[in-house]
Amino acid sequence: MKIVKEAKTFNQVDTELLIVGVQKNCDHIKGWNNFVSFYGENVEEWIRSGDIGTERKKMTKIPYSGSNAKIKRVLFVGLGDTKTLTENELRETFGLVGKQLRALKANEFTIWLESFTASPIDEQTIAFLFAEGAGLGFYQVPHYKTTSNEVDVYMDAVHFVTDGDIDEIAASYEVGKIYADAVNEARSLVNLPPNLLTAKDLANYAEQLAKQYDFEIEILNKEDLEELGMGGILSVNKGSTEEPRLITIKYQATEKWEDVVGLVGKGVTYDTGGYSIKSKTGMVGMKGDMGGAAAVLGAMKIIGELRPNKNVVAVIGSTDNMISGDAFKPDDVITTYSGKTVEVLNTDAEGRLVLADAVTYAKQQGANYLIDIATLTGGVITALGYDKTGALTNNEAFFDSFIEASIETGEFVWGMPLTERDKKRIRKSDIADLNNSPGSDGHMIFAGGFVGEFVGDTPWIHLDIAGTSDTTSAYDLGPKGGTGVMVRTLATFIERLGEQLN
């Protein structure tokens, strides 16, 4: 996409679509009189009559018939009362603009930035939020229909009408675009059918990512995992004909490999539930059980683009969970990479077994802080619904700083308690150190708490995205399907940590 670094006046605009923000009182918009003089006084009458809606997220398309510039049409975007307008609401509004751009097949467009500013949201912030929000809203799920005649549409170029610093504005837009592109790649991974995304395929994608951004990468295959004794991943993989992979990516920002944040993703490319088999309806959609891995890879893409001053190691355990004569089963006892033994009570509680080995390996690779992310339990949906990511932590200061990043990105995270009584139930077994399924009550807490048994004193956050990784209906920032949730928050968190070191 070409970001045109040339601030234009209305009379200089040559565009398919001019995007203008309108609010409850447009006289408050800097340069509004200039726009009225350019467009014509009838625009104010149309706003008063409601033909151009100023309600928040209201979109009004009107062809431009004037002779002052080469403009095909104007898209008026309602902002409502800008005194209460938040960055998150503006991002969502721009998501709807992105949907309009796709519907109009507008490859090129112009934004009047000042029409969207609202204290303290300045032109640079508008540029970032527009690039991010519109990029997310523009996304379309890849499909495999052979009868489709739909022409591919791309956002080829963006122009700006502004009085602001065009170089800073263009830079902010570029960062927003980087964020949106990374989320959309994560979404596409989640949306891939399981026959097209195996553990090997996921590792190949990670290798390409590492090559693109000059990351250090290590891919462990089944033989490697057997030599290391990674019984968690290997037990889940036993029923499959597809080999597992453990993917490790390192981004070294400082001279010494220290103060390292570990991002650990669950990469279960399909989950039947194993012998604790899911229902026929519960199995549909399990192609997305690698949403945690997608989030980590998406965050690493942003890190590769922006190069924050923070060391990061990403570890992804990947396999599918299938059924065969060789598959693991309830009553098995397995030995994890850490040496701890686990009594298997439920083969559909497989993600925590994969994560147990992955977090242990991340610590060995130098992680001083850990964040694991996984589509782990239906319990988090029961507790929090489909729009909230559930979290556990052993370090409130670490968690508080992460929450600041989630607030900045508008991705809601809610902390859940992990008590000593919960830990005792996870450790309750007559024959092993732990059991993998203490009960259906408090399911999200037991699942995350199980992973916590392998982190020791390392500051740790567990994120359960089972409810937020996928959506069954379109929303402001995207279509139904994979959401790419937590890509932006993980990357923002790493960026903010890096800024503390500068």
Catalytic residue positions, numbered: 278, 352
CA atoms lying within 13 Å on the CB side of residue 340: 23
Rounded Cα distance between 117 and 125, Å, is: 9
Contact 296, 373 (CB under 8 A): yes
* Beta bridge partners of residue 482, listed in sequence order: 470
Main-chain dihedrals φ then ψ at residue 206, nearest 5 degrees: -60, -40
Q: What H or E segment, with its residue span, contains residue 77? A: strand 70-78
Contact 239, 326 (CB under 8 A): yes
CB atoms within 10 A of CB 37: 12
Rounded Cα distance between 336 and 234, Å, is: 9
- Beta-carbon contacts of residue 41 (< 8 Å; ≥ 6 apart): none
Contact 377, 298 (CB under 8 A): no
**Residue 30: both structure tokens together:** 């800097």
* Beta bridge partners of residue 7, listed in sequence order: 160
- Beta-carbon contacts of residue 472 (< 8 Å; ≥ 6 apart): 480
Instruction: Quickly tell me which residue has 């290798």 as its tokens.
Output: 207
* Beta bridge partners of residue 22, listed in sequence order: 78
Q: What H or E segment, with its residue span, contains residue 321? A: strand 312-321
In angstroms, what CA-CA distances link 420 with 394, 445, 453, 460? 12, 12, 12, 16
DSSP 356-382: HHHHHHHHHTTEEEEEEEE---THHHH
In angstroms, what CA-CA distances link 255 with 251, 261, 262, 311, 501? 11, 15, 18, 10, 13
**DSSP strand pairing (216-220 vs 14-22):** unpaired
Rounded Cα distance between 17 and 13, Å, is: 10
N- to C-terminal Cα distance for the chain?
Answer: 30
Report CA 48 to chain centroid distance, whole Å: 40
